[in-house]
Structure 1
Amino acid sequence: MAEAQAPEVDYTLNNPDTLTKYKTAAGISHKVLDAVIALCVEGEKIVDICEKGDQLLDEEIAKVYKGKKIAKGVSHPTTVSPSSYVTPYTPLKSDAAEAEITLKAGEIVKIQLGAQIDGFGTIVCDMVVIAKKDSPKEVVTGREADLIVATHYANELLLRLMVPSGVLAQGTDEEKAKAAAKKPPTQAQISDLLEKVAKAYDCKVVENTTSWLFDRNEIEGTKKIILTPGNGVRGEGVPEIGEVWGVEVGLSLGSGKVKNLDHRATLHRRTTTTYGLKRPSSRQTLSEVVKKFGTFPFSLRQLEDEKAAKVGVVECVRGGVLRQYEPAGESDNSPVSRVLSTIAITKNGITKLAAPNAPDLEQFKSDKKIEDEEILKILEQPIARSTGNKKNKNKKKKTTGGDE
C-alpha cells in the first residue's frame, strides 16, 4: 500500500502562518535594532557594536518557536556603516586596523540587521546621527538634516509607488475598474520621481540602489527595482499583491557615484552553485555556513573560528558556492544615507513589517522643502486601507506631515 503523501505547504501570504512568521521575525529585528541604536555613541568600536547586535539577535530568536522543528536564525548580521559607506559594513576582530574603527560625533551611521523564522526573513536598516558623548540630544540642522529628511520622504514616496494599481481605489465599480487598469509606474519613472525629491534637498540618489522581491529563504528574488541604474544595469518586474519586498533608499550629499573600498569583504552568502571543494578548511567552512545560515547573508565573525573562516572562504568564493559582498562607499567620500524596510503587499495595501523609525521632524530641521505638486500629491496618499485603528492613524499623521 502506497504511503499517503504529506500535503504541500502553502508558503505564500495566503497562509496566515506565513504572515505570523514574518511578523515574529520583524518584532525581533525591531527590538534588536532599537538596542543597537542605543549602543551607537561617540568613541564606541564598530566591531563591538556588531558583535553585541548579533548576540542580541541570537538571544531573541532563541525565545520564539521553542521546541518546534522550524528553522530560524539571522537573516542579516548586524552591520554598522560609517558616513560615506554605501554598503553594510561589519569588520572583524582579527583585522587589527578595522577592529579599531570607532564612531565619530556628527557622522550619519547606517545600522542594518534582520531575523528569519522558517526561511521568512525580515531585514531593516535605519540611520542615526552620532551625538557627542555625554551630551544631550541636539537638534540636527544643515546638510545632515537635509539628507535625513530627504531620505524619509524619498522612502515614503517609493512605498506609495509600490502600491499596485487600484488596490486603494474608492468610488463606484467603474471608478475602481478604471484605477485598477492604470499602468503601474515604470522603473524609469520611479527613479525620476525619487531624483526630484533628492534634488529638492540638494542630494543625489545613490546609483544602483536596489529593492528586491523576498521569498522563502531568498532575499534577492526574481524581481527588483533599481534606482538610478548605471550602464548595463536594469530592474525587472512590478510589485504585486501577495508579495514581500525589501525596499531600499539611499541618498548622498555628494555625487551619488559608488567606489569599492580598500577593506576585506566580510559579508558573504551561499549561492545555489555546487562545486567540488578540494581543501578540508573550505569544506568545513561551507558546512558551517549551510548549517547556521542557509542562504542568508552572514559575517565571517559569526563563524566558529574567524581566522580559519578567512582562509576557508577563499576557495568557496572562487568556486562560486559563496558570494562575497564587496565593501563600497561614496566616490567622493561624502555622507550617504540608507534605509531599508521589509513590506508585505496585500489586498489592503502595504504593511510595513520591519521599517526604520520615522525621523522626528522637530529633531531634524531642514530649511529646504518639496514643492513639486505631483510628488506632494503622491505623498498625501495612504499606503494601506484604514482599519479604523486610531493608534495607527496617529502614527501615519506623524510620519507624513513634515513639509507644511
Structure 2
Amino acid sequence: MSNMEVSMAYPASKFEADNSLTNPDVVEKYQLAADIVNGILPLVVAKVDTGISVCDLCQYGDDLMKAHTEKMFKNSERGIAVPTCVSVNNIVQNFSPLSENDINLKPGDVVKIELGVHVDGYIATAAHTIVVPSNPQEPTTGKAADVIAATHYAYETALRMLRPGIKASEITRVITEIAAYFRCQPVEGTFSSPMKRFVLRAGKDIENRFLEELIIQDLEKYDFEIEANQVYQLNVVLTTGDGSVKNTEYKPFVYQRDVNKSYQLKMKSARQAYAEINANHTVFPFATRSLSSNTARLGLTSLLEHKLVTAYSAMRTKLNSDLVAQFKGTIMVTAEGPVRNTRALQLPFVHSLFCIPQTTTAATVLSTPEVNEIRQAKPLAAVDVTFGDRRVEKEDVDMDME
C-alpha cells in the first residue's frame, strides 16, 4: 500500500496518542475492526466453488464490510480499508475485477482472498488461501499443496518471531528458509508493514525476500528491530515459481487517494470521481467498481495523470503454471510478544511431500506455543446482503469540460 504521510491537520502529538496500545479505547477499536474481518472472511471463503464468479466474490465481501461497518460509530469514519481482492493461481494480489474482466473458478484453482476494515481509522486486514475442490474427500497434492503448506508454516513462524528486539532480517531469512524446504520462493515486492490510525503502511517493511542487489554490507542500513506498541499487517506470499513478477494484461482495479497532492481538475468526470473518493473512501484503497458510474471511472485516468490517486496493479508471476499462496493477518506487538487480532482460518485439505527438517531455526520456532487471540471474537449481527447481487453499472459517459 502507499506510504501515506500524516496530514498537517492531524498533529503529531494527537497521532501518537491515537496509536498508543496502552489506551483501551484504541485496542477496542482495533479489535472491533478485527471482529468484522473475522466474521466476514469465512463467509467469502465458504462461497468458493467451481463456476463461481470472482467478481461476485469481491462484491459480496465489499457488501458485507459496508453493511457491518455502517452500523457502528455513526459519527466517525468507518468502512472498507482494503477492498475485497480474489487473486487466482499466479496472480499475486490486487485482483478485484469489473464484470468485463470476470473469471469463473475452476477445480484446482488456488484462490487468495484478501480484505480489510477500519473503524474510526483503526484497521484490521486478513487474507486466506483456498483450493477450489475437485474431490473434497481427497487432499490437494503437488505444487498447490507445496506452496500452501510453505506459506502457512512461514506465516506461523514469522508470527511467533514478531516480538520486540527481533530484527526484520531474521524474519525475512526464516521465510526464505521455509520456502526453500518446499521448493518455493517468496514473491518479490511483497512485505509486512506496521499500521497506524488511518495509515496502512506506517513504517519500515518486513520484506518477504531480500532484494537481489542487496549486499551484506548494506543490510544494516535497511534492517531494524521490531518494537513494542505496534500493529502489523503480517503478510506472507510465496510462489512455486522463481519469485519474480510482472504486470498482468489488466488495467489496475485498486486505487488509493494521495492526500498530499492537489490539482484543480477541469474534466467533469474527474471531478465526479474525486468527489466520490473523498466522500466514500478518504485515505483508504478502493476498487474501481465502487465508483457509481462509468463517468466516474473514466475520471480515474485524469486523477492518475495528476497523481491525485495511486494505482495498485494486479501483478502476476512469470509463468502461467506458477501458483501463489498468501496468508495475512493483523497482529499487535506488545512488550510480552505478539497477539492475534484476526483469526487464522482452517487450512485447505492439502498434502505436501516436503517438510521442515528438525533442528532447523524454523522447526525450533514452530515448536514454541501458538500465538493467542487478543480476546474471543464478538459475533456479528445478521445483515441483508445477497451473494451474486451485482450493481447496475451506469453507462453514462460525459467528457465535457466545465
TM-score (norm 2): 0.82
Cα deviation, residue 200, structure 1: 1.0
Structure 2 Cα separation of the partners of residues 185 and 236 of structure 1? 7
- Please say if 1:120 is aligned against 2:122: yes
Match of 1:285 in 2: 273
Match of 1:154 in 2: 154
Residues 289-308 of structure 1 mapped to structure 2, 5 A cutoff: 289-305=277-293, 307-308=294-295
Cα deviation, residue 323, structure 1: 0.3
- Please say if 1:364 is aligned against 2:372: no
Residues 283-320 of structure 1 deviation map (CA, whole Å, 9 limit, x = unaligned)? 22112111111111100111111x12321111111111
In structure 2, the CA distance between the partners of 1:282 and 1:148, relative to structure 1 (3 Å rule), is same
Match of 1:347 in 2: 335
Cα deviation, residue 81, structure 1: 0.6
User: In the alignment, is the contact (CA less than 8 A) between 1:79 and 1:88 conserved in 2?
Assistant: yes
Structure 2 Cα separation of the partners of residues 230 and 296 of structure 1? 28
Match of 2:253 in 1: 266
Cα deviation, residue 186, structure 1: 4.6
Residues 29-68 of structure 1 mapped to structure 2, 5 A cutoff: 29-65=37-73, 68=74
Structure 1 Cα separation of the partners of residues 186 and 119 of structure 2? 33
Match of 1:230 in 2: 211
Structure 1 Cα separation of the partners of residues 333 and 269 of structure 2? 43
* Gaps in structure 1 of 5+ consecutive residues: 1-6, 166-183, 393-404
- Please say if 1:75 is aligned against 2:77: no
Q: Which amino acid aligns with 2:187?
A: V
Q: Which amino acid aligns with 1:79?
A: C
Partner SS, residue 207 of structure 2:
strand
Percent identity over the alignment? 28
Residues 213-224 of structure 1 mapped to structure 2, 5 A cutoff: 213-224=194-205
Structure 2 Cα separation of the partners of residues 186 and 343 of structure 1? 15
- Please say if 1:241 is aligned against 2:228: yes
User: In the alignment, is the contact (CA less than 8 A) between 1:37 and 1:128 conserved in 2?
Assistant: yes
Residues 101-112 of structure 1 mapped to structure 2, 5 A cutoff: 101-112=103-114
Q: Which amino acid aligns with 2:86?
A: V
TM-score (norm 1): 0.82
Counterpart pick for 2:93 among 84, 87, 98? 87
Segment of structure 1 superposing worse, 365-374 or 16-25: 365-374
Cα deviation, residue 353, structure 1: 0.9
Cα deviation, residue 278, structure 1: 2.5
Cα deviation, residue 358, structure 1: 4.6
Residues 367-400 of structure 1 deviation map (CA, whole Å, 9 limit, x = unaligned)? 211115222112222465899x9x99xxxxxxxx
Q: Which amino acid aligns with 1:43?
A: G
Partner SS, residue 250 of structure 1:
strand
In structure 2, the CA distance between the partners of 1:236 and 1:269, relative to structure 1 (3 Å rule), is farther
User: In the alignment, is the contact (CA less than 8 A) between 1:76 and 1:297 conserved in 2?
Assistant: yes
- Greater relative contact order (Cα < 8 A, sep 6+): 2
Residues 194-250 of structure 1 deviation map (CA, whole Å, 9 limit, x = unaligned)? 211111111111122211110111101122111214356885543211110111111
User: In the alignment, is the contact (CA less than 8 A) between 2:187 and 2:244 conserved in 1?
Assistant: yes
Cα deviation, residue 350, structure 1: 1.0
Segment of structure 1 superposing worse, 313-322 or 108-117: 313-322
Partner SS, residue 354 of structure 1:
coil
Segment of structure 1 superposing worse, 9-18 or 267-276: 9-18
Partner SS, residue 355 of structure 2:
coil
In structure 2, the CA distance between the partners of 1:38 and 1:186, relative to structure 1 (3 Å rule), is closer
Cα deviation, residue 271, structure 1: 1.2
In structure 2, the CA distance between the partners of 1:386 and 1:139, relative to structure 1 (3 Å rule), is closer
Match of 1:179 in 2: none
- Please say if 1:185 is aligned against 2:171: no
Partner SS, residue 92 of structure 2:
coil
In structure 2, the CA distance between the partners of 1:288 and 1:186, relative to structure 1 (3 Å rule), is closer
